[in-house]
Amino acid sequence: MERRDFLASLAVAPLAAALQSTPSKPRVAIKQSVMASVWGADSKLSFEERCQILQRLGFKGMDLPTPEQAPMLKKYGLAPAMMTGAGTSFQDGLVRKEQHDKFEAAFKQ
pLDDT of 52 above 90: yes
The answer to whether the predicted template modeling score (pTM) of the entire model surpasses 0.75 is no
**In angstroms, what CA-CA distances link 102 with 45, 87, 107?**
33, 10, 10
pLDDT in tens, 19-42: 665 566 777 667 888 988 888 888
pLDDT in tens, 71-91: 999 999 999 887 766 666 667
Specify the pLDDT at position 55: 94
pLDDT in tens, 54-70: 999 999 999 888 888 98
By C-alpha distance, which of 75, 84, 68, 83 is closest to 54? 75
> If 0-12 CB within 10 Å is exposed, 13-18 middle and 19+ buried, where does residue 65 land?
buried
Q: In the Cβ-directed half-sphere of 81, how many Cα atoms lie within 13 Å?
A: 13
